[in-house]
């Protein structure tokens, strides 16, 4: 047996430091997003700390999400492109290896946005003038369409944009440019994949990059027979931005995002009075309609960029502020929500909305008398809901809950998929905790009250199916200590209970539970896309003035109030 003699503690400490450095992967400062004119140079650089020397392997994701290694960048810390082409657009990242073979990525990815279009100002906010301005951007081209101040009724007209490489529709401000359709009648096309029915539709089937801001889209929630929505993004839009806008009075949804792999950020918007009995959403996130046997359920990626991010918005008067289904993934954070007991017209005789969850995730889309594997669509895939403020309107006919005939406002109804729900604050009046359901009703054999039949546990696409859900550190005026509870859903209490605590869901953090998601970390806030400039004139404000995330996935943080005043009625 042999020994190494260490003559002093300083040398021993140095050896320990060296050993730790060898074992640890390098720390990588991520590359920054850039925008350049077509044909101009662009470059991305990273810095690494650790056991030098380092080797760098660069990767590019094109606008369709296809990844490839970049040979021309070599293995150095800076990736340079002499003259960008449209094929260079997309996202860039690097894998860094140290001298010991340990490696790390420079997350999050950086985006390369290419400018090849000019600003075009519409003559007015009329449909004809806005359409004419959009038509000035050639197919495959890019540009910004500025809509001037005014209120314009498009009657029955629609704007569908599907052939631009990238486009930004920008008004003169949410309080200055208003578009509406007083004669809208969308019938049953609300979820149609083929017939657009929103005031403005972005179709991203060819990988287009889209943006909308500084505008008010207004619907008709006064007629329950009309299904209206404001903005639709379809075809799996990637890296989209919807910001500084207002969406009000839509009986279906203010914003509808469709496509299992859609990703982008919806921020700094006002959503007001988007309500209909049984519908009425601020934001609806959906995959595609398809038979479950053919449906693709995306992988579970907590903390990933692969989701629709809804952050720093103000919601008031929706049935659900966010709803989801059909394999969709969303992150809902730093929002402020005001619940009303009545419908969107503030009618104290109608109280349906009081029991509607302010955030929501659908399970299997139920079809009566059809077995689960023949249903029309799968449930939500994943949801991350944290650092939000749930509150209630200061209205004299809204009870505080707890008295005879009174009940608390529902905070969340999660009926499908997997997720995390943590660090939310509840102010003013009693709120119900998060309720978990199987949707639709489930029976094993012979119970006609439960019309969806399965052979065994688990029920498809239920909460906890093929994964776990977690609820912790939700504070304030909320029942059940902020914990999630199992609830019956449209049954007589005899249906089989296929959701169980500490198996399908946990009232604790992933770190405390210690399973496969123990190292869960939220995606960076604010979303990095908010700092990326896509178009030539950029944003009025770069970055976000909001405070950093005050409640991480670690434990006892407290949420911050969203930076919005209540919008005018």
Question: In this predicted structure, which of 93-97, 109-113, 453-457 has the lowest mean pLDDT?
Answer: 453-457
Which one is predicted more confidently, 231 or 398?
Answer: 231
* 106-110, 181-185, 355-359, 438-442 — most confident range: 106-110
Model confidence at 346, pLDDT cuts 50, 70, 90, reads very low
Residue ranges of the alpha helices (H) in 265-368? none
Confidence category of residue 368, pLDDT binned at 50, 70, 90: low
Rounded-to-integer distance, Cα 378 and Cα 368, Å: 15
Q: Rounded mean pLDDT of 170-188?
A: 82
Polymer length in residues for the chain: 569
pLDDT score of 238 more than 70: yes
Q: Print burial letters for 81-101: b (CB count within 10 Å at least 16), e (below 16).
A: beebeeebbbbbbbebbbeee
pLDDT at position 3: 35
Render pLDDT for 37-57 as a digit per residue (tens, 0 to 9): 777 889 999 999 999 999 999
Segment holding 132, helix H or strand E? helix 127-135
Reported confidence tier of residue 323, pLDDT bands at 50, 70, 90: very high
Residue 186's pLDDT is 53
Q: How many CB atoms lie within 10 A of CB 432?
A: 21
Average pLDDT in the chain = 76
Q: Does the structure show a pLDDT above 50 at 70?
A: yes
pTM: 0.75
Percent helix / strand / coil, the chain, rounded to 5: 10, 35, 55
Q: How many CA atoms lie within 13 A of 234 on its CB side?
A: 19
Higher pLDDT, 563 or 430: 430
Tell me the backbone φ, ψ of residue 81, rounded to 5 degrees: -120, 120
Q: Tens digits of per-residue pLDDT, 465-485?
A: 667 899 998 888 777 778 887
Checking if the pLDDT of 532 tops 70, the result is no
For domain 26-114, the CATH class is: mainly beta
CA angle 498, 500, 502 (to 5 degrees): 150
- Residue 569: predicted pLDDT: 36
Tell me what pLDDT residue 23 has. Answer: 59
Please tell me the distance from the alpha carbon of residue 558 to that of residue 28, in angstroms, as a whole number: 29
pLDDT at 402 over 50: no
- Residue percentage of the chain with pLDDT more than 70: 68
Report the alpha-carbon distance of residue 115 to residue 39 in Å, rounded.
Answer: 10
CA nearest 286: which of 238, 320, 255, 324?
A: 324
pLDDT number for residue 556: 37
**pLDDT of 97:** 94
Query: Above 60 in pLDDT, residue 180?
Result: yes
Q: Give the pLDDT score at 275.
A: 80
Could you tell me which residues are beta bridge partners of residue 90? Answer: 112
DSSP state of 345: T
Q: Is the pLDDT of residue 189 over 50?
A: no
Q: Structural domain boundaries of the chain?
A: 26-114, 117-251
Q: Looking at the predicted structure, is the pLDDT value of residue 202 above 80? A: yes
128 pLDDT exceeds 80? Answer: yes
Strand partners of residue 270: 246, 314
Span 538-562, average pLDDT: 39
User: Which of 206-215, 409-418, 546-555 has the lowest average pLDDT?
Assistant: 546-555
| Residue 208 confidence class, pLDDT cut points 50, 70, 90 | confident
Residues 6+ apart with CB under 8 A from 366: 375, 439, 440, 451, 452
Fill in the DSSP letter of residue 4: P
- Answer whether residue 284 shows pLDDT above 90: yes
Please give the average per-residue pLDDT across 422-443, as a whole number: 69
Percent of the chain with pLDDT over 90: 32
């Amino acid at each position: 047996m042999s020994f190494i003699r260490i003559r002093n503690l300083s040398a021993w400490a140095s050896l320990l430091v060296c050993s730790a450095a060898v074992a640890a992967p390098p720390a990588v400062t991520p590359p920054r997003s850039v925008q350049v004119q077509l044909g101009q140079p662009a470059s991305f650089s990273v810095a690494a700390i650790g056991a030098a020397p380092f080797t760098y392997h660069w990767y590019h994701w094109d606008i369709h999400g296809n990844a490839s290694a970049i040979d021309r960048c070599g293995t150095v810390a800076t990736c340079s492109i002499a003259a960008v082409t449209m094929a260079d657009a997309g996202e860039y990242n690097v894998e860094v290896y140290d001298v010991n073979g340990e490696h790390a990525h420079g997350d999050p990815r950086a985006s390369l946005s290419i400018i090849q279009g000019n600003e075009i100002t519409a003559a007015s906010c009329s449909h004809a003038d806005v359409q004419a301005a959009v038509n000035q951007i050639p197919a495959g081209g890019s540009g910004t369409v500025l809509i001037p101040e005014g209120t314009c009724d498009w009657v029955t007209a629609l704007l569908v944009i599907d052939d631009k490489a990238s486009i930004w529709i920008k008004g003169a401000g949410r309080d200055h440019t208003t578009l509406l359709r007083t004669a809208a009648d969308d019938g049953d096309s609300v979820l149609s994949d083929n017939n657009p029915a929103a005031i403005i539709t972005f179709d991203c089937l060819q990988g287009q990059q889209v943006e909308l801001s500084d505008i008010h889209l207004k619907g008709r929630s006064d007629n329950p027979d009309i299904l209206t929505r404001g903005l639709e993004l379809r075809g799996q839009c990637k890296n989209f931005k919807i910001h500084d806008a207002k969406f009000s009075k839509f009986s279906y949804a203010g914003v509808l995002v469709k496509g299992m792999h859609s990703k982008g950020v919806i921020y700094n918007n006002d959503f007001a009075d988007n309500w209909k009995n049984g519908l009425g959403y601020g934001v609806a996130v959906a995959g595609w309609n398809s038979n479950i046997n053919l449906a693709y359920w995306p992988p579970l990626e907590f903390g990933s960029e692969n989701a629709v991010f809804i952050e720093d918005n103000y919601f008031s008067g929706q049935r659900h502020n966010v709803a989801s289904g059909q394999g969709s993934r969303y992150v809902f954070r730093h929002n402020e929500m005001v619940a009303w007991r009545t419908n969107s017209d503030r009618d104290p005789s109608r109280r349906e909305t009081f029991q509607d969850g302010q955030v929501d995730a659908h399970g299997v889309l139920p079809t009566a008398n059809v077995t689960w594997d023949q249903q029309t669509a799968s449930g939500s895939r994943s949801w991350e809901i944290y650092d939000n403020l749930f509150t209630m309107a200061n209205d004299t006919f809204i009870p505080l809950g707890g008295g005879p005939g009174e009940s608390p406002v529902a905070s969340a109804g999660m009926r499908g998929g997997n997720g995390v729900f943590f660090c939310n604050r509840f102010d003013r009046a009693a709120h119900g905790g998060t309720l978990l359901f199987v949707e639709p009703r489930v029976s094993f054999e012979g119970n006609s009250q439960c019309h969806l039949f399965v052979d065994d546990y688990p029920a498809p696409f239920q909460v906890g199916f093929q994964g776990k859900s977690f609820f912790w550190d939700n504070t304030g005026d909320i029942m059940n200590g902020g914990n999630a509870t199992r609830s019956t859903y449209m049954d007589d209490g005899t249906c089989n209970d296929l959701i169980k605590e500490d198996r399908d869901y946990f009232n604790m953090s992933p770190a405390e539970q210690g399973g496969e998601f123990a190292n869960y970390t939220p995606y960076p806030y604010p979303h990095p896309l908010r700092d990326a400039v896509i178009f030539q004139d950029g944003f009025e404000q770069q970055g976000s003035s909001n405070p950093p995330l005050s409640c991480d996935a670690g434990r006892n943080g407290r949420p911050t109030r969203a930076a919005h005043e209540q919008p005018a009625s």
